[in-house]
Each structure stands twice: as structure tokens, then as C-alpha cells.
Structure 1
Amino acid sequence: MQLQVAIDRVSLEKAVSLAKQLDGVVPIIEMGTSLVKDYGFDGMVAMRKAINHSKLLIDLKTIDEGQYEFEQGFKAQADLLTVMGASSKATLDTTYETAENASGTMMIDLLEIDDAKIKLISNYPNAVYLLHHSVDRADHIDVEQAVTDFTNQLPQVKHVAVAGGLDLQAVKQLAKQGKTEIVIVGSKIIKSPDIIKSAKEFMEAIQ
């Protein structure tokens, strides 16, 4: 299992500093959607320059203009890019093809889409499928059960990620379960007093 640390809602200068600190400490560093919206393509390039050892995920949350947005993301040398599962099948087809041609990875954000749509778009063998619980929601979910239900319903999906308020205990449970490829943690690391210490604690939890 891999740990992805999300950097979001900070200045680009701060994001670059955080990325440099986390580079090589965690497998994947995420440039969050707010940073993409605030700083655009130049911000993507700046984040890439800050990262030499970890992979870079740029959370584009593409919903349309799939080929163009993914080409731009991979032009900035991202390793992984996100597309919304709510996109049209045509958009998902083109983002997947663009990712494959760039030797990159497409992550499909399944936020708030129903089982019928998920089944319809479950045919991308190299894509990562992200089970994402919105931070705007007040309720909580059993992430371990959600992963079990998802993998039982869609055994053809081989790459599963989980995001949304994950703490150390939840990550330990997912690691023990062994069905999740990527766990995404944001504020529990980025807002901690010692981000390197916190990141290493999460890394130990997934071993």
C-alpha cells in the first residue's frame, strides 16, 4: 500500500516547501485542486521541480475537455492525474487513452456517483479507482466496509484508492485488510506540528 499526501489550500510557496520536505519520505505527493485553480500550469511546473524522488499526483478533477487537461498535466510531468467519475464515458475514454500514451496513470474520483455509473466505467485496467468521502459531508463512513463492498461488486478493478478524513487508525485498518493500493491523507499530516514525523508514522502504519 502507498501513502499519498495531499497539499491543499496554502500558498504556492508553502506548497513547494512542503513538497520538498516530503520528497522521498512518502511515495506520492498530491498537488490539491485548490492549488491547481489558484496557480494553474505554472504552479504545476513549480511543484514538479520541487519533487525529485516521490511521484506527483495533480488533482485536476477533470470533468470535460479531458484530452487537453490531461495533456497539460502530463506536459507538467505529473505521474498521476484525476478525472471525475461523473464525467461522460467519452471524456473518461479520452483521458485514459491520454494517460496510457503518456505512460502516466489516471485516477478516477468516484465522489457521489451511483453504482450503475461505477459499473459502466469499471473497464479501465490501469486506472486507479478512488473511493472519496467528501469533506463537506458531516457524516462518517466505515471505509474498510466500503472497500470490501466495492471490491466484492467489482472484482475486475485491481487498483483502489481511498480518501476523505483518514486518520492513523483507519489507515492501519485498511493496511491490515490489504485491498487498498493508495491511501490519501491531507490535514492529518500537513497540519501536524511535525509533518515529517507524522508522515513517517503513517508510513509505518501501512507496512
Structure 2
Amino acid sequence: MKLQVAIDRVSLDRAKEVAAQLDPVVDIIEMGTSLVKDYGCYALNKEELGIHHAELLLDTKTIDEGQYEFDKGFATGADILTVMGAASLGTLQTCYQVAEQAHRQMFIDLMEVDEDKTRQILGFDHAIYGIHHAKDSKTNFDAADSVDLFHATYPKVSRINVAGGIDIDQAAKLSQQGIADTVIVGGKIMKSDDPLQAAKEFMKVIK
């Protein structure tokens, strides 16, 4: 299992500082939607961020204009870009085509996507399907149970990522479960006194 650390709602300087610290340790560094909106994709250039080991994900949350947004995102050196599962099938197909041609990756954010829509968008063999519990949602979320249910319902999906308030106990449970490809952690690392040490602790339990 891989660890993806979501850096969000911080200054650009702080994002660069943490990214440089985490780069040798974690598998994927995510620049969250707030950073994309605050500073733009070009400010989050992989080289400028000093990321050399980890993959870089820009959480663009594309919902339309797939060709434009994915072309621009990949031009910054990003390895993975996100598109909302709620987007039109045409947008998803366009984003996937751009990702395939660029030899990069498309992450489909399944936040608030129902079963009917999910079944319509299962044909992207190389895409990452992200189970994502909304930050604003007040409902309870068990990451391992959600992954297990998704895998049982859509067994042909080979790349499943999961995010949503995941702590170290949930990360360990997901690792033992052995279904999810990547666990995405934000606050439990970024809000800790020492994000680097916190990331190392997560790495210990998932590897």
C-alpha cells in the first residue's frame, strides 16, 4: 500500500517546505484543491516544489474543460490529476485520453457519486478510483468497510484509493485488509506537531 499525503489550506511557502521534507519518505504528495485555487497549477510545478522521489498529485477536481485542465496540469510535471466522478462521461473520457497520451494518471474522485453513475464510469482500466468522504459531511465513515463494499460491488476495479479523516488505526486496518492501493492522509499528518515524523509512523503501519 502507498501513502499519499494531502497538503491543503496552507501558504505556498509552507507547502513547499513540507513537500521537501516528505519527498524522500512518502509515495505521493498531493497539493490540495485549496492550493490549486489559491496559487494555480504553475506555482505548483514539480520542479519548483523540489519533489524528486514522490509522485505529485494536483487535486484539480476537474468537472468540465477536461482537455484544457489536464493539459495544463500535466504541463507542470504533475503525475496524477483528479476529475470528479460526477462530471459528464465526455469529460471523463477526455481526461483519460489526455492522461494516457501523456503517460500520466487520472484519479476519479467518487465523492457523492451514486451506484448508477459509478457503473457508467467503470471502463477506465488504468484510472484510480478514489473513495472520498466529504469533509463537510456529518455522516460517519469507516474507510475499511467502505473499501470492502466498493470492492465487492465493483470487483473489476483494480486501483482503489481512499480518503476521509483517516487515522493511523484505520490506515493499519486498510493495510491488513489488502484491497486499497493507496491511503490518503491529510489532517492527521499536516496538523501534527511534526508532519515528517507523523508520515514516518503511517509508513510503518502500511508497509
Provide the TM-score with structure 2 as the length reference. Answer: 0.97
CA contact (8 A) 1:12 1:35 kept: yes
Counterpart CA distance in 1 for 2:187 and 2:73 is 24
Distance 1:16 1:47, change over 3 A: farther
Q: Deviation at 1:41?
A: 2.7
The residue type equivalent to 1:151 in the other structure is H
The residue type equivalent to 2:64 in the other structure is D
Structure 1 match to 2:157: 157
Structure 1 match to 2:168: 168
Counterpart CA distance in 1 for 2:181 and 2:48 is 23
Structure 2 match to 1:74: 74
Counterpart CA distance in 1 for 2:176 and 2:3 is 14
> Which secondary structure state, in structure 2, belongs to the residue aligned with residue 112 of structure 1?
coil
Structure 2 match to 1:118: 118
Give CA deviations for 1:117-161 in whole Å, capped at 9, x if unaligned. Answer: 001101101000000001111221222111111111111100000
Query: How many residue pairs get matched?
Result: 207
Matches within 5 A, 1:87-98: 87-98=87-98
- Residue 43 (structure 2) pairs with residue 43 (structure 1): yes
Structure 2 match to 1:8: 8
Provide the TM-score with structure 1 as the length reference. Answer: 0.97
Q: Deviation at 1:110?
A: 0.2
The residue type equivalent to 1:164 in the other structure is G
CA contact (8 A) 1:48 1:56 kept: no
- Residue 34 (structure 2) pairs with residue 34 (structure 1): yes
> Which secondary structure state, in structure 1, belongs to the residue aligned with residue 40 of structure 2?
helix
CA contact (8 A) 1:16 1:46 kept: no
The residue type equivalent to 2:121 in the other structure is I
Distance 1:150 1:63, change over 3 A: same
Q: Deviation at 1:46?
A: 6.1
CA contact (8 A) 2:129 2:159 kept: yes
Distance 1:116 1:37, change over 3 A: same
CA contact (8 A) 1:82 1:109 kept: yes
Counterpart CA distance in 2 for 1:121 and 1:74 is 22
CA contact (8 A) 1:48 1:76 kept: no
Counterpart CA distance in 1 for 2:41 and 2:24 is 23
Distance 1:113 1:48, change over 3 A: farther
Matches within 5 A, 1:96-135: 96-135=96-135
Q: Deviation at 1:49?
A: 3.6
Q: Deviation at 1:47?
A: 6.6
- Runs of 4+ residues over 4 Å off in structure 1: none
Counterpart CA distance in 2 for 1:111 and 1:90 is 18
> Which secondary structure state, in structure 2, belongs to the residue aligned with residue 152 of structure 1?
helix
Quote the RMSD (CA, aligned, Å).
1.0
Counterpart CA distance in 1 for 2:94 and 2:60 is 15
